[in-house]
Structure 1
Amino acid sequence: MIIDILKNSKALLEGHFLLSSGMHSNRYCQCAKVLEDPKEAEKVLENVATQLKDIEFDVVVGPAMGGILVAYELARQLQKTCIFTERQDGKMTLKRGFELKKGEKVIISEDVVTTGKSFKETEEVIKSYGAEVVAVACIVDRSNGIIHERPLYSAIKLNVDNYDSDNCPLCKKGIPYIKPGSRDIK
């Protein structure tokens, strides 16, 4: 069902993509296409909310951009508070008057998890407030099992090929890539 929603919303793309992590891939999940429809967002994240219902936590924190709407929808379904981190001068931070209290339990939300870079940056911000990350939640887990530090709950797991830029077969074939993500890559 989730894969059908991703396909029908045109969130699951095929081609050559430069990911926010700097890796290349033959598939890209543009979850914003699913999240633009509140009813589809509710359906996709209902499964994740069900997985989280027995976890004790206080707040959902979503890294900008992809995690913001996911945080909102999970918090709405689970009747929790949500806030988001964003980059300022290239560094993830809490702005807009958002705060965390020492000892608060946090779930980090993402649209897609590949390398975990955004949630790890967000986790550092959370720890700086003395709060504790208890889990990560996302729509699409395409990490291929490389994320082990925290429990990871997802609506769907996709096995997608990821390539280092130096060893990308799509680059070797001369296929140009597109960069659909929001993070600037240095």
Structure 2
Amino acid sequence: MPIEIKHTIQPGTFSATTQPTLRTQDGDLVLRAPEPQDAPTVHAAFQDPAVRYWHARSMESLDEARAWVETAHQSWQREEAAQWLVTRAADDAPLGRMALRDMDLLEGHAEIGYWVLPPARGQAVAPRALTTLTSWAFTAGFHRLELQHSTRNEASCRVAAKAGYVLEGTRRSAALHTDGWHDMHVHACVGPAQGVSRG
């Protein structure tokens, strides 16, 4: 059956362009597309127990990391997801990763994903990068962004709040981690073009 609503974001909007490089307002951080030379950084991230635990993913080899980078580029071209590495502007040192996952161009929805490397934690890398990504996403036409995390992950709750993502509720027993089912907090941010406050 025909859909009687128009796409919030016209298909082809992203695939026709190069994934943009973004800079935080303070100029200290850069969000850029991952490249093949970043595979060791991606691999190292998934050797960290916290990243493995909260994402319930492992990455055992550099070949897997290289495949992750290639998939990231393919996902942009397919307009399904977008991955950015967060780096220090002064020397391009990798600090973490930000992502838009499950991109829905019809209704303008996407879900946030991220991790921060252990040496960069405690420096407000995640909230600054998330604020920058959120601003770009709304400029690009997204209507609503969601961030979900385990209710046990207090650090992610703080990141969401600092970046203006409102806590909307809890999805009970919604995500399976290695130690069992977790309740999930749902935070969301709605684009200002719709006349709804972000925070």
Q: What TM-score do the two structures reach when normalised by structure 1?
A: 0.31
Q: What TM-score do the two structures reach when normalised by structure 2?
A: 0.30
Q: Which has the higher contact order (CA 8 A, sep 6+)?
A: 1
